[in-house]
């Protein structure tokens, strides 16, 4: 099996992360914001696995497990917040929640 250069794996992670970042910057729908954050977390996990694969160590995969845990906890709380936003403002626009009301 011919080897894959490590740079290409890292570049794949960087491209996915940049797409997720552009999504966070552009979208106003809270579902798409959470989705873009998932993309970014997945891309950082991919970078960890690439680095772990480069040195043939399982540590990168362990870090991916922790990132997976973070993503799961984040999406649970984020979707609960999204449900609350939808029930209170009848919209998914994050700008609707820009006023704090004590």
What part of residues 27-66 is at the interface with another protein (CB under 8 A)?
27-29, 31-32, 34-36, 38-39, 42, 46, 49-50, 52-62, 64-66
Burial of 26 (0-12, 13-18, 19+ CB in 10 A): exposed
Show contacts with another protein in window 10-29 (CB under 8 A). 10-12, 14-23, 25-29
Report the distance separating Cα 50 and Cα 15, nearest Å.
14
For residues 24 and 1, what is the distance between their CA atoms, to the nearest angstrom?
38
Nearest to another protein of 5, 99 (CB atom): 5
CB 47 → another protein: shortest distance, Å?
10
């Amino acid at each position: 099996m011919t080897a894959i250069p490590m740079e290409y794996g890292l570049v794949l992670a960087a491209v996915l992360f940049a797409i997720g970042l552009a999504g966070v910057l552009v979208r106003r729908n809270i579902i798409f914001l959470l989705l873009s954050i998932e993309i970014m977390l997945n891309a950082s996990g991919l970078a960890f696995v690439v680095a772990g694969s480069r040195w043939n160590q399982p540590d990168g995969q362990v870090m991916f497990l922790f990132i997976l845990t973070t993503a799961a906890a984040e999406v649970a709380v984020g979707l609960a917040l999204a449900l609350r936003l939808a029930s209170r403002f009848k919209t998914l626009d994050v700008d609707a929640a820009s006023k704090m009301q004590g």
